[in-house]
């Protein structure tokens, strides 16, 4: 479990990026974090595995204080990160060497590394590309290799910081399916994103503004207030917005429509 | 007019990594066009726009701007290019100095440079009071505006933007798209590369789709989104609204699948219900 208590973070130039964040993330949860650029999402993400340490307040991972130097390795054994640009994360010339890079650095024995790499590539659906050069892969495939690298570290939590921002639509779809699959296998997933349809796939959505968590709830709860989301500079999934527009035109619809399938089912009965 | 004639480009010629990035590409961009270039990662989009902007030497074929070869400086200076994540290239101490960098290289007078900096900042919606601030203290959306202002200060006749909204939050995205529209209305010809079919649906008059270095489609976005085979081959998906409409159709509601924007979808469903 991850627990964030009154977290404050100020950069060296004095800019306050986090201004009193409180949040708990349960084991096995799939949490999405949304908010405008500069709301503090990425700064928060970097606290989950101690890439940043709180200016004030605490972050605990399985009860371990992330600001204590002695806990650093155990925190990072528990929480892994995947970033926006796979090109910055891929280090090796062959896919499977890249996935093996992290476990090798941990000094794990070769047979165990082999098992981990095989399983990680299978998990992200990239086994067939094990001997490819990463430079020959599409953006979505590269990002799945970066995810396999995180999976091979066997962390129980993976934080994804805008993993699809640079991908084409099919790449986005592949990566989101991979993330859902990891969650289904029991991993705790924290997904930072600007794409509301991705946030709608989570169990819980936290909305950040000006360094704080403004509210958190199920996607249905969060996206039902279309006007509030727009005021915050955010958006809602297309089905939610279309339902809201139809309601204003006098079409009676349930208040919490979230997906195209739900909207289709209701409209069909009209 | 920009004319791309029979352009091919191969990377790493003569090595095992040889890759045909572009194969005999021909198309033209007319003055006043609002053109989107789409295609998956590795389809050749970035190579193509850099060739059009004269930043990559031609191997074969030709690029002409208003009848003049792109190899000539006057032709090159008509084209402005905004790269992906342009804010990563900011480097000056102040916003004004960063925007002035290009115009200064063009050898313009100091009075003309200050005038252009002010105009460009105004155009992208940056408060002129920010001119003496370090660009690194600004938010992500503001930094991107500074970078774009730096290109606008060169007064390009043709503006190429590579994924201009990538990584921006929805509000910053809407604002930036509105500014690109405004530029187009002011007479600038726009070519933008995008993965966002929503942006293409809302902005572009014409879409060119690249796959494996070839042009797979050249026409109206609306016609593109109706062609699932082409979208599939290019690694693209229709915009969210079109996907939603397709879902409604699968559920048995017969709604016109040509709707690409929320306004169109709303009208179409109301028509169907009444």
Q: How many residues does chain A have?
A: 270
Q: Which residue of B has its CA nearest to A250?
A: B270
The mean pLDDT value of chain A amounts to 92
**Reduced to 3 states, what is the DSSP secondary structure of residue B61?**
strand
Residue B95 is predicted with a pLDDT of 94
The token duo for A91 is 């280090």
The model's pLDDT over A69-117, given as tens digits with 9 standing for 90+, comes to: 999 999 999 999 999 888 877 888 899 999 999 899 888 899 999 999 9
**Distance in angstroms (rounded) separating the CA atoms of residues B152 and B157:** 10
Residue B188 is predicted with a pLDDT of 96
The model's pLDDT over A106-151, given as tens digits with 9 standing for 90+, comes to: 888 999 999 999 999 999 999 999 999 988 888 888 999 999 999 9
Do B235 and A170 contact (CB within 8 A), yes or no? yes
**Distance in angstroms (rounded) separating the CA atoms of residues B46 and B37:** 10
The token duo for B167 is 């990584």
Do A82 and A159 contact (CB within 8 A), yes or no? yes
pLDDT above 80 (res B155): yes
Name the pLDDT band for A203 (thresholds 50, 70, 90). Answer: very high
Residue B170 is predicted with a pLDDT of 87
- Rounded (5°) CA angle B168-B172-B176: 100
Going across the sheet that includes A79-82, the strands are: A79-82, A157-161, A188-192, A30-35, A204-209, A212-217
What does the longest C-alpha to C-alpha distance in chain B come to?
65
Residue B17 is predicted with a pLDDT of 75
Gyration radius of chain A over CA positions: 20
Q: Which residues contact A107 (CB under 8 A, 6 or more apart)?
A: none
Do B52 and B160 contact (CB within 8 A), yes or no? yes
Is the CB of A140 less than 8 angstroms away from the CB of B41?
A: yes
Torsions phi, psi of B216, nearest 5? Answer: -95, -25
**In sequence order, what E strands does A37-153 have?**
56-61, 64-65, 79-82
pLDDT above 80 (res B41): no
**Distance in angstroms (rounded) separating the CA atoms of residues A128 and B93:** 48
Query: Which of A15, A83, A192, A260 to probe the B interface (max B CBs under 10 A)?
Result: A260
The model's pLDDT over A177-202, given as tens digits with 9 standing for 90+, comes to: 999 999 999 999 999 999 999 999 99
Do A21 and A209 contact (CB within 8 A), yes or no? no
Name the pLDDT band for B151 (thresholds 50, 70, 90). Answer: very high
Mean pLDDT along residues B172-190: 92
Query: Which of B138, B173, B251, B265 to probe the A interface (max A CBs under 10 A)?
Result: B251
User: What dihedral do alpha carbons B194, B199, B203, B207 form, nearest 10°?
Assistant: 40
Mean pLDDT along residues B113-141: 90
- Rounded (5°) CA angle A227-A228-A233: 95
pLDDT above 80 (res A170): yes
**Distance in angstroms (rounded) separating the CA atoms of residues A47 and A60:** 10
A93 touches chain B (CB under 8 A): no
The topology (CATH level 3) of B2-221 is Rossmann fold (3.40.50)
The token duo for A62 is 């399985």
Gyration radius of chain B over CA positions: 20
pLDDT above 80 (res A270): no
Cβ-based neighbour number of residue B38 at 10 Å: 30
Residue A220 is predicted with a pLDDT of 93
- Rounded (5°) CA angle B72-B76-B81: 160
pLDDT above 80 (res B102): yes
pTM above 0.90, yes or no: no
* Run of H or E residues at A17: strand A16-25
- Placement of tokens 């789409």 in the chain: B38
Residue A97 is predicted with a pLDDT of 93
**B residues 227..266 contacting A (CB < 8 A):** 235-237, 240-241, 243-244, 247-248, 250-253, 262, 265-266
Nearest to B36 by CA among B158, B233, B258, B199: B199
Residue B43 is predicted with a pLDDT of 84
Torsions phi, psi of B100, nearest 5? Answer: -75, -10
Residue B19 is predicted with a pLDDT of 84
Q: Which residue of A has its CA nearest to B18?
A: A136
Burial (Cβ within 10 Å: 0-12, 13-18, ≥19) of residue B22: buried
Residues of B in contact with A249 (CB under 8 A): 266, 270
**A residues 181..200 contacting B (CB < 8 A):** 194, 196-197
How many secondary structure helices (H) and strands (E) does chain A include? Answer: 11, 10
CA distance B83 to chain A (A): 13
Distances (CA, A) of B79 to B2, B7, B31, B184: 10, 18, 12, 14
Query: Which of A164, A168, A248 to probe the B interface (max B CBs under 10 A)?
Result: A168
Residue B235 is predicted with a pLDDT of 85
Q: Which residue of B has its CA nearest to A268?
A: B253
Is the CB of A196 less than 8 angstroms away from the CB of B141?
A: no
ipTM over 0.85? The verdict is no
The model's pLDDT over B66-75, given as tens digits with 9 standing for 90+, comes to: 999 999 999 9
B167 torsion bin: left (phi>0), alpha (psi -120 to 50), beta (else): left
Complete domains list, chain A, with CATH? 2-236 (3.40.50.300)
Do B78 and B65 contact (CB within 8 A), yes or no? yes
Residue B203 is predicted with a pLDDT of 93
**Distance in angstroms (rounded) separating the CA atoms of residues B30 and B189:** 8
Is the CB of A194 less than 8 angstroms away from the CB of B252?
A: no
């Amino acid at each position: 479990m991850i627990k964030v208590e009154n977290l404050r973070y100020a950069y060296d130039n004095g800019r306050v990026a986090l201004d009193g964040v409180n949040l708990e993330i349960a084991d096995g949860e799939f949490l999405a974090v949304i908010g405008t650029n500069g709301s503090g999402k990425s700064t928060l993400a970097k606290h989950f595995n101690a890439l940043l340490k709180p200016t004030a307040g605490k972050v605990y991972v399985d009860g371990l204080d992330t600001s204590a130097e002695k806990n650093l390795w155990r925190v990072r054994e528990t929480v892994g990160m995947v970033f926006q640009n796979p090109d910055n994360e891929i280090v090796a010339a062959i896919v499977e060497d890249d996935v093996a890079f992290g476990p090798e650095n941990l000094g794990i024995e070769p047979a165990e590394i082999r098992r981990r790499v095989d399983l990680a590539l299978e998990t992200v659906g990239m086994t067939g590309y094990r001997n490819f050069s990463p430079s020959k892969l599409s953006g979505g495939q590269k990002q799945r290799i970066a995810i396999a690298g995180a999976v091979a570290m066997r962390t129980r939590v993976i934080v994804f910081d805008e993993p699809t921002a640079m991908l084409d639509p099919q790449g986005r779809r592949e990566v989101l399916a991979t993330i859902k699959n990891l969650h289904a296998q029991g991993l705790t997933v924290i997904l930072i994103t600007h794409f509301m349809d991705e946030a709608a796939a989570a169990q819980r959505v936290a909305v950040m503004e000006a360094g704080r968590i403004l509210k958190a709830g199920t996607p249905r709860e969060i996206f039902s207030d279309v006007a509030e989301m727009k005021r915050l500079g955010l958006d809602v999934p297309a089905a939610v917005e279309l339902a809201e527009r139809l309601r204003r035109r006098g079409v009676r619809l349930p208040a919490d429509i979230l997906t195209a399938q739900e909207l289709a089912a209701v409209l069909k009965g009209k | 007019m920009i004319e791309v004639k029979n352009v091919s480009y191969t990377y790493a010629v003569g090595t095992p990594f040889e890759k045909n990035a572009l194969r005999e590409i021909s198309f033209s961009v007319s003055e006043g066009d609002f053109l989107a270039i789409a295609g998956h990662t590795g389809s050749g989009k970035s190579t193509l726009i850099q060739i059009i902007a004269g930043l990559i030497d031609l191997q074969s074929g030709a690029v002409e701007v208003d009848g003049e070869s792109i190899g000539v400086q006057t032709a090159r200076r008509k084209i402005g290019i905004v790269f992906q994540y342009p804010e990563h290239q900011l480097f000056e101490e102040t916003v004004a100095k960063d925007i002035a960098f290009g115009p200064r290289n063009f050898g313009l007078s100091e009075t003309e440079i200050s005038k252009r900096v002010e105009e460009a900042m105004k155009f992208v919606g940056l408060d002129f009071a920010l001119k003496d601030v370090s660009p690194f203290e600004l938010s992500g959306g503001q930094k991107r505006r500074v970078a774009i202002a730096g290109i606008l200060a060169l007064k390009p006749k043709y503006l190429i933007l590579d994924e201009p909204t990538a990584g921006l939050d929805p509000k910053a995205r809407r604002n930036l798209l509105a500014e690109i529209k405004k530029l187009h209305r002011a007479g600038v010809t726009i070519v933008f590369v995008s993965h966002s079919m929503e942006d293409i649906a809302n902005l572009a008059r014409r879409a060119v789709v690249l796959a494996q270095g070839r042009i797979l489609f050249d026409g109206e976005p609306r016609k593109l989104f109706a062609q699932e085979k082409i979208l599939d081959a290019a690694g693209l998906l229709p915009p969210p609204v079109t996907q939603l409409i397709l879902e409604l159709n699968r559920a048995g509601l017969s709604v016109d699948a040509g709707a690409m924007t929320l306004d169109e979808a709303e009208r179409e469903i109301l028509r169907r219900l009444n």
